[in-house]
Structure 1
Amino acid sequence: MELAHLLTPGAIRVCNAVKSKKRLFQDLAETAAAAHGLDEAVAIDALQERESLGPTGVGHGVALPHARIDGIERVRGVFIRLDRPLDYGSVDRAPVDLVFALFAPRDAGVEHLKALALVSRTLRDPAVCAKLRANEETDKLFAILTQQTDTKAA
């Protein structure tokens, strides 16, 4: 699996002045609706439901919100780079500025876990995160994310 299988260039945004997790989830859902045809309200509810089980901020300024929803055929991703870090309630209490959300079919099982592991591995790399933080153009962000996956593929 590669990130290019989960993302499209239209599923990447740079957001300014996001001041709450609720607003972030709205932006993620709007992007998922536009890029992947997901129902915006369903996506927001699913993200909030999953987040209520525990925070998806994994540390070092990275969050990986994810949700299972009905009505999609395969795992889809959305990436948002925040101009200003957001207090997200991460495990290390650091604010978040890189957010990669995954939306999976309710019965995705292993496919969802593989996608989550891939995204986690990619965003655990400090060099990748530094490149993402240094760019604001969505096409460059897409290239950074998808090129990184290709170099690690075996």
Structure 2
Amino acid sequence: MEFAKLLKPEAVKVLTSASSKKRLLHEISDLAHSAYDLNAGHVVEALMAREALGPTGVGRGVALPHARLDGVNEVVGVFVVLDKPIDFNAVDRQPVDIAFALFAPEDAGVEHLKALALVSRTLRDSSICTKLRANHDASTLYTILSEAQSAQAA
């Protein structure tokens, strides 16, 4: 699994308007619609349903919301950095300012897990998160994520 297959440059954004978890999930859904032509209503419903099972805030300011959706042919992602952290009910109770959402086909198995592992491994690296938080240009954020994978593979 590679970030180039998982994440389009146009699916990366800095958010200035997300003031709550619900608002963030709506923003992610809108971005998934514009980048991948996914139905924003279905995306937000699926993300909310997943959050109802347990929060996807994994700690240290990072959230990994994810959902399986009809109409998705391969695992795709949306990455956002928030200019103001929000409460996400994370496991460590720290507010979230980095979110990487994943959307997988209903029948995705191993590919969905590989994508979650890649994103989790990348965002567990505090130096990568520091770089992401220090940059508010979408193309720079995309480059940081792409280069992070190359550095991990080396």
Q: Return the TM-score normalized by structure 2.
A: 0.98
Counterpart of 2:19 in structure 1 is: 19
**Aligned-pair CA distance for 1:17:** 3.3
Counterpart of 1:4 in structure 2 is: 4
Counterpart of 1:68 in structure 2 is: 68
Letter aligned with residue 25 of structure 1: L
Counterpart of 1:149 in structure 2 is: 149
What are the equivalent positions in structure 2 for 1:82-121 lying under 5 Å apart?
82-121=82-121
The CA deviation string for residues 64-90 of structure 1, in whole angstroms up to 9 with x for no partner, is: 000000001100000010000001100
- Which 4+ residue blocks in structure 1 deviate beyond 3 angstroms? none
Within 2, Cα distance between the matches of 1:23 and 1:109? 29
3-state SS, counterpart of residue 89 of structure 1: coil
Letter aligned with residue 62 of structure 2: V
3-state SS, counterpart of residue 97 of structure 1: strand
The CA deviation string for residues 7-41 of structure 1, in whole angstroms up to 9 with x for no partner, is: 11100010113111111011000000000111100
Indicate yes or no: 2:81 matched with 1:81. Answer: yes
3-state SS, counterpart of residue 55 of structure 1: coil
Counterpart of 2:34 in structure 1 is: 34
Counterpart of 2:51 in structure 1 is: 51
Within 2, Cα distance between the matches of 1:2 and 1:151? 12
Letter aligned with residue 7 of structure 1: L
Counterpart of 1:131 in structure 2 is: 131
Most deviating of 11-20 and 134-143 = 11-20
Number of residue equivalences: 154
Percent of residue pairs bearing the same amino acid type: 56
CA contact (8 A) 1:65 1:101 kept: yes
Within 2, Cα distance between the matches of 1:2 and 1:51? 26
**Aligned-pair CA distance for 1:93:** 0.1
**Aligned-pair CA distance for 1:92:** 0.1
Within 2, Cα distance between the matches of 1:17 and 1:92? 24
Q: Return the TM-score normalized by structure 1.
A: 0.98
**Aligned-pair CA distance for 1:153:** 2.6
* Structure 1, unaligned runs of 5 or more: none
RMSD of the alignment, in Å? 0.8
